[in-house]
Every structure is written in C-alpha cells, then in structure tokens.
Amino acid sequence: MDTQEKLPELSIFFPFWNEEKNIEKVVTDAISVARDVAETWEIIMVDDGSTDKTSEIAKNLEKKHKNLKLIALHPNKGYGAALRAGLEHSQYKYVVFTDGDLQFDFSELTKFIEKIDSADIVIGYRKKRKDEKIFKRLLLMNLLKVWDFVLFGFYFRDIDCGFKMFTRNALDQLGSLRSDGAMITSEILAKAKKKKLKILQVGVEHYPRKYGLQTGANLFVIVRAILESLILWSDIHNGRI
C-alpha cells in the first residue's frame, strides 16, 4: 500500500498497567499518527487493573477525544487478557497494537502499513533491544524461540515484540484467544500457522523504559507462559483448534 494513501479505517489499542507517567504521551502520539494514516480510526486504551492513576488519566483523555475508548479490566488479569480485550473491542478493517510503555515509536506504523496488503499479519522485531537486564531478556527471548519451534513448528525473529498489525480477515480466522499471560503472542502465531495465514516481519526501533516497571521476566509470568503453551500444544495436537 502506498503510504501516501490513507487506510480506510484503523483500530489502535494499547494495553496499560500502572503507566500513569506514560499513557498521555502514548495516546497523544498515536492520535497524531492516526490522523495521518487513516480516514476513520479509533484508539482503545485497555487498563489492566492499574493501581495508580492510569485509569483516571485514561478517563480524562476519553472525555476530550471522541475517537478514544477506555476498556477497564478488574482486577489485573495479565498481558494476554489485555490484548484479548483490545482485539475483541476493535471494530475496523485493520487493527494494530503496541505496548503502552513508550518503548516503541508509533510513527513506525507506516512500515507495517506498507506490508499489510501483502500479508494477513505483520509483526515487528526489535532491531536492538534496550531493556534493563538485557542478558536475561535475550536469554528468555531465545529460549522462547526454541520452545515455540519445538512445540508449534514456527520461527520468527522476535516472537513477543509488542508491535503487531492484523487484517480483520486474519482476526476472524484466528477466532477466540484464551491465553491470559505472555503466551498470547505464541498462541496468535501458532493459530496463524495452522490457518496458513501469511505473516511478514518488519524491524522497529526499541527504546529504554523511562517510567514504570517491566514484568515480563518475573517468575510468575514465565511459569504461566509455560503452562499456557502446554495447554495450547495439547489443543492443537488433539484437534481442538
């Protein structure tokens, strides 16, 4: 698609959990990009049971902009549950999400738009990760690649990169998702592989987190991801998906 030609319609959503210092800039930046790339658009703010002022700020933003919508989950349910809520409430032909922690530049959406007409799903990969405890993060990322290849037979450069774009047709074929934790991205890709959807990859910049806490490498998140992946493997292996 020519990036000078606007998308007819676009749903954007962000999962937030205790992002009071990030949410306003994330959403304001997204509004600017959305106006440039889409004729009709919406931004969905998914607050996953935040205990700070994230929800309060989101409510104020929603009042100021008619294209914004807040979905509040209570209590905190997990990254996968937040993504599911965003996907389920997105109504337009194209759907994109990024994490709500300002570690991505949302203007790079144009790279995804350039590829989406040739794909069902476009997934980002971080060209150079800028996380804290980077060795641990890279180790977990590579272990996930091996784990998913063994269980589901797919390989991508950055499976859990929080910047992905979908066509409505792809989401309809994926059907209901059920992972509550970080394994949601593997569930999406495993189902996409089974449905023979075309997935393209695009490199994006990654920035250090300035505010808030990273939770993706804590023990609870890892254990839940392992359990959810084994359930997913069983469902696919036994023909329930």
**Residue range 222-236, pLDDT digits in tens:** 788 888 889 888 988
Burial of 13 (0-12, 13-18, 19+ CB in 10 A): buried
Domains of the chain and any CATH numbers: 7-237 (3.90.550.10)
- pLDDT score at 195: 94
Rounded Cα gap, residues 151 and 191, in angstroms = 12
Average pLDDT over residues 63-78: 96
Instruction: Tell me the whole-structure pTM to 2 decimals.
Output: 0.90
Per-residue model confidence as pLDDT tens digits over 155-170: 999 999 999 999 999 9
Task: Report whether pLDDT(3) > 60.
Answer: no
- pLDDT score at 138: 82
- The whole-angstrom distance between residue 177's C-alpha and the CA centroid of its chain comes to 13
- pLDDT score at 214: 62
- pLDDT score at 107: 98
Gyration radius of the chain's alpha carbons:
17
What average pLDDT does the chain have?
A: 92
Residue 210 sits at φ, ψ, to 5 deg, of -90, -35
**Edge-to-edge strands, sheet with 7-16:** 68-73, 38-48, 7-16, 94-98, 163-167, 121-126, 199-204
